[in-house]
Amino acid sequence: MNASKSGRKSQFKLFFRRFCRNKLAVFGLIFIVFIILVALFAPFIAPYGYDDQNVSIRLTKPNSEHWFGTDDLGRDVFSRMIYGARVSLSVGISTTAISMFTALIIGMISGYYGGRTDNIIMRIVDVFLAIPSILLSIAIAATLGGGIVSMLIALSMGAIPGVSRLIRAQVMAECHKEYVEAAKVTRASDFRIMFKYIFPNILSVFIVTFTMGVAGGILNASMLSFIGLGAQPPIPEWGAMLSEGRAYIRDYPYLVTYPGIMISITVFAINMFGDGLRDAFDPKLKGR
Amino acid sequence: MSVILKVENLKKYFDVQGGKLHAVDGISFSINEGETFGIVGESGCGKSTLGRTIIHLYQPTSGKIIFENKDITFISKKECRELLRKMQFIFQDPYSSLNPRMTVIDIIMEPLLIDGMKRKDARQRASELMEMVGLSKMFETSYPHELDGGRRQRIGIARALALEPKFIICDEPVSALDVSIQAQILNLMLELQEKLKLTYIFITHDLSVVKHISDRVMVMYLGQTVELAETQELFSNPVHPYTKALLSAVPSIDIDEQQKREILHGEIASPINPQPGCRFAARCKYSTSRCKTDDPQLVEIKPGHFVSCYNV
């Protein structure tokens, strides 16, 4: 009993130590935790509501009362950015969750059964892959109309084909290992083999892809909002804020600077975190 | 002694680029209850494929497999599940045949849980199995990568024994292990055979191992049977030129004994779309023109001693 507990613990410790060696990844992790906390406690942190308008002070430059200034309707940019973290993060995470879950099922079936099943599924995936995922998302969002929900659907659909391929390749590689044959001999059902044997063994790839996917999701959500197909006013999505501030960029550049910086740093932090995770999961890759 | 497994003219071809790969090409033999049947041959001769085809990890191309007087050549998934209750498999590489994400006890419990046993009972039974194969209780919650090869192979054996099979196909169970540990595992397998009345097919390329453990031995070359006899008979009186060359390659610990090695020349013929004639003809110094055109058949030259060669 004790032997294994310490074994598992030391494995995690080793993993954690490898992760900590990468300073940028640690920065990423800290920043992500920070952003999540900000998003969770937005109402307590933000000095103003995200839709509190005060036209008499519209377009004031950053000052002690409004740290990041106010926008064209007199709303506090700082507060809107804090609330925006909620929207951006949840959109990023939920699109990735939806797309990864769907892709897991598609990739698993395709990779595990192989042959004709694989051929049919992959040709369909190829059709979607032929369309750039951004264009696909835009097309879907445009068809469904604006709003958060249609943005979620559009972004997840855009990400599914690529991730399905990745998971299929991973599953195929695992299927050739002897423990899968051994599982067949122990009379395990296909479903059991897929989720009790193969899935835990591709989990590290899954987690890393998930993390990177969140960064991509946030970026794409901002993009859709920027062209007016995502979050609709007055929802304070970072991309939407960029879009609203665009009209005043000559005279009031801070309207786009702050949300822009926020998007960049968040995406950068998540990517660095994902990189660090990948290296920590597979130490053989690093430094070769 | 009754026949437990009978294989008749079994063939397994794989579709590959450039034709059909004849991995197993017309093998016939029968195995009596309680015996150990050794299968030897060099890498790529189809011995593993033969084992995997018998247990239906691969679908046979043609031929017949009769297990306990029942034809099991072409069976449904459900029947195969039933078959696996009686027939089990021990894998070659204990490093890759165990799921790295499961603990030892979980691995051994798997076949029991899949069989519908309650978790508590399965745990109890798995502990018994661990004791039976000589694994200490302290390894129950270890992961396979924390153990050495011998202990891992013990896990593989315990897993195979979980459902109390009668018949076990061992695919090179010791060739991935250190020599000192090989002996332990072989002795364990012999012990278990006696205790549980098991029948083994023992696939290996190691002649000293096969000599130690088998009652009868079949020598394979490129998917076909070359020679089949009782172990004593085969080792003291090999007839087929290939068997002779194979046996002469066994190193001896006696330095006074003059080694007369028979070195084979030439390449192994390709198993993809093979030419008619004896598969060994190109490397055989006794080969005649007939060897290159006609397939030799397995003939009984002495009771229980079968050879497939024209020159005997």
Average pLDDT for B131-141: 91
Burial class (CB in 10 A: 0-12, 13-18, 19+), A31: middle
Bridge partners of residue B67, in order along the sequence? B5, B70
Using a CB–CB cut-off of 8 Å, the residues of A that contact B are: 1, 3-5, 7-8, 177-179, 181-189, 192, 197, 200-201, 203
Q: What is the pLDDT of residue B196?
A: 93
Residue owning tokens 């064209």: A72
CA nearest A202: which of B114, B97, B100? B100
- Measure the CA angle with vertex B148, ends B142 and B149; round to 5°: 120
Assess whether pLDDT exceeds 50 at residue A220: yes
CATH of A22-58+66-281, one of 3.30.470.10, 3.40.1190.20, 3.40.50.150, 1.10.3720.10: 1.10.3720.10
Compute the residue count for chain A: 288
Is residue A116 packed enough to be buried (19+ CB in 10 Å), middle (13-18) or exposed (0-12)?
A: exposed
Average pLDDT in the A184-203 region? 91
Could you tell me how far CA A117 lies from the centroid of its own chain?
30
- Hey, what are B303's tokens? 């009771």
Residue A6 has pLDDT above 60, yes or no: no
Q: Do A181 and B115 touch (CB under 8 A)?
A: no
pLDDT category at B282 given cuts 50, 70, 90 is confident
Q: Do A7 and B142 touch (CB under 8 A)?
A: yes
For residue range B192-215, what is the model confidence (pLDDT) as tens digits?
999 999 999 999 988 889 998 999
Distance from CA of B49 to the nearest CA of A (A): 13
Six-digit token pair at A232?
């609709």
Residue A285: pLDDT over 60: no
- Helices (H) and strands (E) in chain A — how many of each? 12, 0
Task: Output DSSP code: residue A76.
Answer: B
Whether the upstream peptide bond of residue B173 has omega within 30° of 0, thus cis, is no
Helix ranges (H only) for A186-253 are 190-192, 199-226, 238-245
Per-residue pLDDT for B87 more than 80?
A: yes
Chain A to chain B, count of Cβ pairs less than 8 Å apart?
A: 73
Lowest mean pLDDT among A168-172, A278-282, B98-102: A278-282
Chain B residues whose beta carbon lies within 8 Å of the beta carbon of residue A201? 99-101
**Given the DSSP bridges, would you call strands B167-171 and B224-230 parallel, antiparallel or unpaired?**
unpaired
State yes or no: pLDDT of A2 exceeds 50: no
Q: How confident is the model at residue B261 (pLDDT cuts 50, 70, 90)?
A: confident
Tens digits of residue pLDDT in A55-90: 888 888 888 888 888 888 888 889 999 999 999 899
- B98/A189 Cβ within 8 A: no
Rounded distance, CA B177 to CA B105, Å? 22
Helices (H), B69-178: 77-86, 104-114, 119-132, 149-161
CA distances (Å), origin B81, targets A110, B9, B124: 24, 24, 23
Range name among A92-96, B41-45, B183-187 with the lowest pLDDT average: B41-45
A264 burial level (CB within 10 Å; 0-12, 13-18, 19+): exposed
Instruction: Please state at what angle helix B119-132 crosses helix B149-161, rounded to 10 degrees.
Output: 130
Read off the pLDDT band of A101 (50, 70, 90): very high
Residues of B in contact with A179 (CB under 8 A): 96-100
pLDDT of B266: 77
Class of domain B3-99+167-177+197-251+259-307: alpha beta
Euclidean distance between CA atoms B155 and B144, whole angstroms: 9
Angle separating helix axes A199-226 and A133-144, nearest 10 degrees: 60
Q: Could you tell me the two tokens for B50? A: 């033969």
- For residue A4, what pLDDT is reported? 46
- Per-position DSSP letters for A129-143, written without gaps between them: HHS-HHHHHHHHHHH
Q: Does B93 touch chain A (CB under 8 A)?
A: yes
Q: What is the pLDDT of residue B289?
A: 84
Instruction: Decide: helix, strand or coil at residue B272.
Output: strand
Q: How confident is the model at residue A1 (pLDDT cuts 50, 70, 90)?
A: very low
Q: What is the mean pLDDT of residues A96-120?
A: 94
**Which of B23, B24, B33, B40 has the alpha carbon at shortest distance from B229?**
B40
Q: What is the mean pLDDT of chain A?
A: 87
Task: Using pLDDT thresholds of 50, 70 and 90, give the confidence band for residue A119.
Answer: very high
Question: What does the pLDDT read at residue A288?
Answer: 37
Residue whose tokens read 């059991």: A192
pLDDT confidence bin for B258, thresholds 50/70/90: low
Please choose, from the candidates A31, A58, A25, the residue with its C-alpha nearest in 3D space to the C-alpha of residue A251.
Answer: A58
Average the pLDDT over A166-181 and give the result: 92
**Stated pTM of the model:** 0.83
Two structure tokens written together for B76: 């449904």
B103–chain A Cβ distance below 8 A for any pair: yes
If pLDDT is split at 50, 70 and 90, which confidence band does A3 have?
very low
User: Would you give the DSSP letter of residue A70?
Assistant: B
DSSP-derived secondary structure letter, B144: G
Q: Could you tell me which of A30, A53, A69 has the C-alpha nearest to residue A259?
A: A69
The residue of chain A with its CA nearest to that of B93 is A178
In which order are the strands placed within the sheet that holds B224-230?
Answer: B87-90, B167-171, B199-204, B36-40, B216-221, B224-230, B305-307, B299-302
User: What integer is the mean pLDDT of A151-158?
Assistant: 91
Strands of the sheet with B62-67, listed across from one edge: B19-32, B3-16, B62-67, B70-71
Cross-chain residue pair B141–A1, CB shorter than 8 Å: yes
Contact residues, chain A, for B81 at CB < 8 Å: 187
Which residue among B89, B99, B103 places its CB closest to the CB of A185?
B89
Closest CA to A198 of A220, A225, A177: A177
Half-sphere exposure of B144 (CA within 13 A, CB side): 21
Q: Which amino acid is at A8?
A: R
Structure tokens at B241: 């030129």
Look at A50 and A38; give whichever has higher pLDDT: A38
In degrees rounded to 5, what are phi and psi of residue B212? -70, -40
CA-closest candidate to residue B14, choices B24, B28, B26? B24
Segment B24-33 shows an average pLDDT of: 92
From the list B302, B152, B146, the residue with the least C-alpha distance to B237 is B302
